Amino acid sequence: MRARRSAARSGVAAVAGLAAALGAVAVPAAPASAGYDSLPAFPGAEGFGYASTGGRGGEVYHVTSRELTGPGTFHDALTTAGDVPRTIVFEISGDVTIPQTVVRGKQKITIAGQTAPGDGVTIKGNTVRFVESSDIVIRNMRFRLGSGSTDDAMYLEDSQNVIIDHSSFSWAGDEVLSIKSKDYENPRSKNITVQWSIMSEGRLTHSMGGLVEMNTISMHHNLYAHNNDRNPKTKGVMDFVNNVVYNWGDFPYVAGGESGTKGYGNVVGNYFVAGVNSANPTAAVVRGNENYQVFLEDNRIDSDRDGVLNGKDTGSGMIEAARPAVQVDERFEYPPVHTQSPRRALDLTLDHAGASVKRDAVDARVVDEVRHQTGAIIGDESDVGGYPELDEGTPARDTDRDGMADAWERARGLDPTDPADRNGDDDGDRYTNLEEYLNELAAPGFPRGYPMEPVSWSGEPFEPPAPQAPEPAPVAPLDGDAIRSAVVTDSSSTGAANAALWSIQQNLQPGDYVAGDRMTGSKAYRFTQIPDELRGTEWVRSAVASRAATDDDLLSFYLPGDADVYVAHDTRISPRPAWLTDAYEATGGTVTDDHGGAWDVFKARFPAGSRVVTGANGGGTVLNYFVAVDPVPGESTPVADAPGEVRAESAGADGDAEVALSWAGSAGATAYLVARASSSEPAMRIVASTADTSFRDPDVEAGVPYRYQVTAVGPGGASGASAEARALATSGSPTAPAPGDLGVTAERSYSVDLGWPAVDGATAYGVYRAPADSGALELLDHVAGPGYTDDTAEPSSTYRYAVTTVSPGGESEPSSDVTAATSGPLDPVVAPGQARATDVSASAFTLGWEPVDGAETYQVYRRDAGGAFAPVGTTSEPRYEDDTISASVASYDYVVTAVNELGESERSEPVTVPLPAPAPPTDLRVGLQGATFTGLVWTSGGGATEYRVLRSEAGGEPHEVGVAKVHTTYDRALEPGTAYTYRVVAVNAAGASEPSAPVRARTLPGTP
């Protein structure tokens, strides 16, 4: 898909002199239109969130207390906001410690940090979370979480119309600033801007800039610095313009990550600067996938770490090659922002981002580190000096408590004793008098001469295409001997995946796997105790993930003979569900597994032909139930003869589609099972049980061809299935025309592929075949779509094919026919020989084997210790690289099969590939150095789960002083002015690498 071209590619000011002063990209802007027709939240507000109303026209709350909660606190200011818009101003400054503050369902709030006296206010100690909130304006605030919490510094979820301006976020234990929708399938977070802000120094070991996912969001003129990952991580709609990203560790701008969620990002005019921690200094847009589209233009990346800001535009070269996003050549049309060249934007952002009206020492230091390419990712705020001392200053006098200083009111002819005048608009510009005051206080944060009005814009924002949910493929029922046509109905959010893990198994015994999703690794659950009456039975292996399903018919199936049905239900569930206690009796037996699970056994007897239905588990946090079926022993034998003379005819009246079936009865039958298939559901499925020799099927649609079979059942078991009978219900409407342009798309030895254009109004197509030299066309099958593979063809044969269109009005005449000739016969393929590992590293295994004559492809299977073989890849060559191995698994077993048109060969002899120890870390170096700590950085050789840090001093032996999960860490509690030697060892499931080359460090002099 091509992105819609933006009407204003780089959004510039209309005044030529101003554009030149700011170094703006000179691209003509369209006339103003409905694109930016609302009043901006404040002069200088831009992007998706520009029109947030905040607390405009409402009440004023004064923060006066440093207590955690209660009147006058920041916590109270946020959590007590009601229906009246609220502006929060500050009479205190400095560090303000808060408890976790959740702002849920609030709206129309302005947090005016610019009103704090002295050096401004810093919120610390815990997180602020906005959930399902709207029209929020946050300006000139600092949120520095600190080592006492592992949360985000700030988190927004499912919120709308939000703008964050000139604010600083740092020292979070989780994400520094996250903004996202809770439900990615139904995103509710939209119209958000983050501008002129700093997201820095996420603390190890997490150290994440933030998740910015499934919003409509603009991010411009921001600085991300010293975060290991997610700078930011984005999904959904993102306009990322004129930002600076410095010293990412593993990952800078993450384009979707390992996700199927769609993303549409503009990455324009940004400056990426690698630092000491940057593992890949040449890639700026990383961890992309086929679901993330990115427009890339006029960015710079400075990869050489030479202390000079001299980035280059490497174009698509700054997209990670191993995991690329999809680059599009037209910009997504989002609300434009004033845009400068990357170099000019770098200078403006470093000069003005963050709470810059009163910039503190933290932001000043971080900005200086960007300019000189110094500094490093931190583990604790004390690594960089901790919270700086802030001048508390003296609050301006505000007699009437209307949020405006008395002196300012008098200078503008307002009454400092009249609180109501805050919501007046004396100059008629639609901003209240209070907003005029707040805007004047915040104005020095912007660059001199920066345009305060949004870019002229005439476009409509790009709307991501609505996801087209694929039509779910019909799921064939599960069939066994004693269990027929079993259907799993799991309507939970992962129900389809859960249902696919259910299966019918034979000969229940101790040692069998308990559940379809408990068969590998540490989650391999096996039965240890099975009561005698259940041993050897046919049983339904369920999925633990279906335990939370609430469906009344979670499992249903039919019985071909009289049978005892057992339900094993987790002993921890109380009360038992009614469907179980009403129909089943406890046997006193218990099933156990090797992970401490236990099930009580219940039993009920059902006659042949019964439809058995079991409901919801009744316990969403324990193990799911399973079902076993044991035919009742007796003298009865299965019904000998299948029903004969089966007829199926359209029988609907007055437009109601219906099919009437009848058949000749079978001696000894007590019931009949009616199975149905169709062009859209080709697998036979039992749809009814009846004691009669006729049945009317009302659950049919006009224009859909159906096939029916009938089976006779009795106490001792079932007959074989009858011959098929076909029926087509019609509506009396006109018949659609036959397909045109029928073609042969592939001819093989045992199959022929056909294709044709779809016909309007078609509900199915009939495919007919005849020998090329003689004979009438005969029906092969009815199919739902315009294509068919005839897999009943014989080698060295020639056939004629024709196709009909089926519609509610009936079936058309055949199309013009085509001829196809199959190739000669094939021999079955044999198992590949000499499977072996040809190249092994701690991050990938390469396998090879002898080629197999006649093989079209090879299927590679893998298992880890104690698991079952599962497909891992397909290749047409006799070699395969597996780069999905885990460094936590000591070895893998592989087998390979050859595949051709006749099928799949036996498996090769298994080959075991042990995981090697990882390569030693390289380039070990000192990042930050203090009097009592040393920060270390190294380059990973890949394939490690963790790193062990070894230290020695004064000629002593190296000893372990710490373990790191990423390629940077800190050694603390050192002596000032002391020399130390460090080495790092990489570790995985196979063991440890050799130590890295040493690095020597000397702590700074000082007092410990």
- Catalytic center residues: 230
Strands (DSSP E) found in 665-716: 671-678, 685-690, 694-697, 705-714
Q: What are phi and psi of 782, to 5 degrees?
A: -105, 140
Cβ atoms of 110 and 84 within 8 Å: the answer is no
Cβ atoms of 239 and 335 within 8 Å: the answer is yes
Q: What is the DSSP letter of 625?
A: P
Cβ atoms of 282 and 322 within 8 Å: the answer is no
Whole-number Cα distances in Å, 271 to 268, 319, 548: 9, 14, 48
Give the alpha-carbon dihedral of 450, 454, 455, 456, to 10 degrees: -140
Listed in sequence order, the residues at least 6 apart from 485 whose beta carbon sits closer than 8 Å to its beta carbon are 477, 478, 479, 557, 558, 673, 675, 685, 686
Q: Return the ∠ at Cα 662 (arms to 660 and 663), rounded to 5°.
A: 160
Determine whether 189 is exposed, middle or buried from the number of CB atoms within 10 Å of its CB (0-12, 13-18, 19+).
Answer: buried
Strands (DSSP E) found in 242-366: 244-246, 253-255, 263-268, 271-273, 285-286, 292-297, 300-302, 326-328
Q: Write down how long the chain is.
A: 1008
List the one residue out of 564, 641, 559, 642 whose CA is nearest residue 608: 559
Cβ atoms of 311 and 302 within 8 Å: the answer is yes
Cβ atoms of 916 and 990 within 8 Å: the answer is yes
CA 668 – CA 670 distance, rounded (Å): 7
Cβ atoms of 76 and 98 within 8 Å: the answer is no
| Helix axes of 342-352 and 361-372: crossing angle, nearest 10 degrees | 150
Give the alpha-carbon dihedral of 679, 683, 684, 687, to 10 degrees: -80
Listed in sequence order, the residues at least 6 apart from 894 whose beta carbon sits closer than 8 Å to its beta carbon are 835, 845, 847, 860, 861, 862, 872, 882, 910, 911, 912, 913
Listed in sequence order, the residues at least 6 apart from 66 whose beta carbon sits closer than 8 Å to its beta carbon are 73, 92, 96, 97
Q: Which two tokens stand for residue 33?
A: 């239109």
Whole-number Cα distances in Å, 370 to 246, 313, 334, 363, 635: 6, 19, 29, 11, 88
Instruction: Give the HSE-up count for residue 453: Cα atoms under 13 Å, Cβ half-sphere.
Output: 11
Compute the chain's Rg from CA coordinates.
35
Q: CB 405: neighbour CB atoms within 10 A?
A: 18
CA end-to-end span of the chain, whole Å? 60
Determine whether 372 is exposed, middle or buried from the number of CB atoms within 10 Å of its CB (0-12, 13-18, 19+).
Answer: exposed
Q: Distance from CA of residue 959 to its chain's centroid?
A: 41
CA 860 – CA 874 distance, rounded (Å): 6
Buried b (16+ CB within 10 A) or exposed e, 757-785: eebebbbbbbbbbeeeeeeebeebbbbbe
Give the alpha-carbon dihedral of 210, 215, 220, 224, to 10 degrees: 10
Cβ atoms of 75 and 96 within 8 Å: the answer is no
Cβ atoms of 917 and 988 within 8 Å: the answer is yes
List the one residue out of 72, 82, 108, 115 whose CA is nearest residue 434: 115
List the one residue out of 41, 94, 81 whose CA is nearest residue 438: 41
